[in-house]
A = this chain, B = another copy of it.
Amino acid sequence: MDESPGIAKLYSVLIAGEYAAHSRLITELGMAPDVDSRIAMGRLAASEMNHFDELAAELVKRDIDPVAAVLRYVDVFDRYHGTTNPKTWDEAMVKAYVGDGLAADFYRELAGALPADARDVVSTVMAETGNSQFARDWVRSRVAADPALRWPLTLWGRRLLGEAITHAQWVLAAEEDVTDLLFSSTTDLAAVSRFFDTVTELHAQRMADLGLG
List the one stretch of A4-12, A34-42, A112-120, A204-212 in contact with chain B: A34-42
Q: A26-B26, A26-B29, A29-B26 are in contact. Are A42 and B49 (CB under 8 A)?
A: yes
Residues of A18-32 contacting chain B, CB below 8 A? 19, 22-23, 26-27, 29-30
For residue A52, CB closer than 8 A to chain B, the reply is yes
DSSP majority for the A interface? Answer: helix
Q: Contact check: which of B19, B26, B35, B66 meets A71 at CB < 8 Å?
A: B35
Report whether B42 and A52 are in contact in the complex, using a CB–CB cutoff of 8 Å: yes
Q: Nearest-CB distance from A120 to chain B (Å)?
A: 22
Cα–Cα, bound, A109→B22 (Å) = 36
Offer 20 A-B interface pairs, CB within 8 angstroms, sorted by A.
Answer: A19-B35, A19-B38, A19-B39, A22-B42, A23-B38, A26-B26, A26-B29, A26-B30, A27-B30, A35-B71, A36-B67, A39-B52, A39-B66, A39-B67, A42-B52, A43-B49, A43-B53, A45-B46, A45-B49, A46-B50
B-binding residues in A (CB < 8 A): 19, 22-23, 26-27, 29-30, 35-36, 38-39, 42-43, 45-46, 49-50, 52-53, 66-67, 70-71
